[in-house]
Structure 1
Amino acid sequence: MTFDEQVAEGLAVPTDGWDFSWFAGRATEERPGWGYVRLCGERLGRAGAVLDVDTGGGEVFAEALGLAVRVPGIVRATEAWAPNHSLASAALRPYGGVVHLVDGGDGALPFDDGTFDLVTGRHPVAFPYREAARVLAPGGSLLVQEVGAGSNRELYEFLMGPQANDDDAYVDRLRARVADAGLEVVDLRDARTRVEFFDLAAGVHFLRKVLWTVPDFAVDRYRDRLRALYDHIAEHGSFVCHSRRTLVEAKA
């Protein structure tokens, strides 16, 4: 396929939800060894009331609920983007889940203090640890998998040029944020995993879907660098970068 054909294909794919099945055969991403969905499913089986923050299309949370030995009696989620809210509502309805459409700007959670005994989040844009601590009951647990600092740095610097880099301090900053929220860190793990794009269409779709990678991404703005990416993939067979994932487990 030509450069223009691949760009057009990447632009045509809907970006709603967090279903990445379209990337099959076009891109791969290694997963961290700890297995977030499995861990989440184990903890859900012991919970009575659970909240999933920034649930996206609800696909991942629903998968974890499906692994739980017992579905919690109260299942709630938040989402800030209206198209995802509809998807998540449908995905979580079989588990009695209710999804609250929220303003993602201030991180406020529309729940009373001490409502939940488990709060989860996978790949939140900015997880609201203080709010999570507030809505957790005493002794409640938190399980979050963050997108770590510098995730896919090779990709965004290929397009944007060199960017500020304080990646090495990220884990210490994160640990401090959790502690400052009044939560006790039980486990904190950090992993860098291989990501590989086999065509430009996958790169374009990824950049549209995962907006924080290149926040001002637009094809016209980055056309020259996208053509360079197209040429790189043609020469080398793929473009390789590395995602970063950080697991946080804490208690109130």
Structure 2
Amino acid sequence: MNDKTFLSYLKHADKPFSGWDFSFIDDTGRMKSDLLSWSYGSMALSLIQDSKSMLDMGTGGGEFLSKLGPFPSSAYATECYLPNVPVAKERLTPLGVQVVQIDDDEDLPFESGQFDLVINKHESYSAQEVRRILSKGGLFLTQQVGGHDCEEINEKLGVPLNEEFKDWNLEKALKEIEKHDFKVLKSREECPTQRFYDIGALVYYLKAIPWQAPGFEVDQYTDELYAIHKMIEEKGYFDVTQYRFMILAEAI
């Protein structure tokens, strides 16, 4: 492969990814997404300000949560990806948030009824366990990524959708929520477009989210990536379809 532009994009995509921060390709305009009709951040901010005890599930490096303070006197965040834990602690501990490393969403190290608010952005969860740690009348806010998210990437690479998440959607999530003593207050789903303007941005993205194409390695998909690169050169971009849904539920 002697295409210098293609190879330079791939080399640039080697930049290490830490926490949950896509600014390397997002802030530079190399990847952009259409707007949703709701704002998880606005909803979470309002709920946090009204809470007395809260938990943020899957905080990443704490980048997002750190912008939503001030926090109640009892504020926790969980993270299962070990390299993110020290990043999150450094960012969140000075803000009064205790960061807890966990291994299993179905066995959280908190007391029953400990929180009046649990928030969760793009993190797996057990509806039963979330209900256990919420007090009666407590609120659960989540924004989720559906199993068919960005499936055009998989089609172009010739990689099947991840079987573990393929059937994950709003309908299934609502059934689980309502089964475990929640009253759904709000729910919505949408399919915005996500646009990549160069192949390096796509490669960087795929390295950061290994569940999209499990086992992804650039060397194994050079031909497929080059085909996408040539398409971007001709068209100007590569569009994929995201799948997002949100749920706000009350523990009853």
The reply to whether TM is greater than 0.5 is yes
- Can you give the 5+ residue segments of structure 1 that lack an aligned partner in the other structure? none
Any idea what SS the aligned residue of 2:243 has?
Answer: strand
Give the distance between the partners of 2:161 and 2:75, measured in 1 at CA: 40
Number of equivalenced pairs: 245
The 5 Å alignment of 1:73-88 reads 73-88=73-88
* Correspondence 1:146-157 to 2 at 5 A: 146-157=144-155
Deviation at 1:117, TM superposition (A): 0.3
Name the CA distance, whole Å, in 2 between partners of 1:188 and 1:26: 31
When normalised by structure 2's length, the TM-score is 0.91
Distance 1:222 1:244 in 2: 24
CA shift for structure 1 position 167: 7.6
- 1:197 Cα deviation (Å)? 0.5
Report SS of the residue matched to 1:151.
Answer: coil
Give 1:29's aligned amino acid: S
Is this contact kept in 2: 1:37–1:63, CA < 8 A? no
Structure-to-structure mapping, 1:7-156, within 5 angstroms: 7-10=10-13, 12-23=14-25, 24-65=28-69, 71-104=71-104, 107-124=106-123, 126-156=124-154
C-alpha distance after superposition, 1:5-31 (max 9, x if no partner): 211211x21111111111122111223
Task: Give the drift of 1:64.
Answer: 2.1
Q: Which residue is 1:5 aligned to?
A: 8
* Percent identity of equivalent pairs: 32
**Matched residue of 2:51: which SS?**
coil
What do you get for the CA RMSD once the two structures are aligned? 2.0
**Cα distance, 1:95 vs structure 2:** 2.1
- Distance in structure 2 (CA, Å) of the matches to 1:185 and 1:216: 37
Counterpart of 1:229 in structure 2: which amino acid?
Answer: I
Distance 1:163 1:102 in 2: 26
Q: Are the equivalent residues in 1 in contact too, given 2:198–2:232 (CA < 8 A)?
A: yes
> 2:230 and 2:41 mapped to 1: Cα distance?
36
What CA deviation, in whole Å up to 9, does each residue of 1:137-185 have, x standing for no partner? Answer: 1110000000122111112221125659998983221111111222221
Calculate the TM-score normalised by the size of structure 1: 0.91
* Residues 202 and 164 of structure 1, relative CA distance in 2, 3 Å threshold: closer
| Gapped regions of structure 2 (runs ≥ 5) | none
Equivalence map 1:167-246=2 (5 Å) = 170-246=169-245
AA in 2 matched with 1:145: Q
Could you say what secondary structure the match of 2:64 adopts? helix
Note closer, same or farther for the CA distance 1:214–1:164 as it changes in structure 2 (3 Å cut). Answer: closer
* Alignment CA distance shift 1:57-1:191 (3 Å): same
Contact preservation (8 Å) 2:77, 2:100: yes
Offset at 1:2?
2.2
Per the alignment, in what secondary structure is the counterpart of residue 93 of structure 1?
A: helix
Residue 97 to residue 161, structure 1, CA distance change in 2 (3 Å):
closer
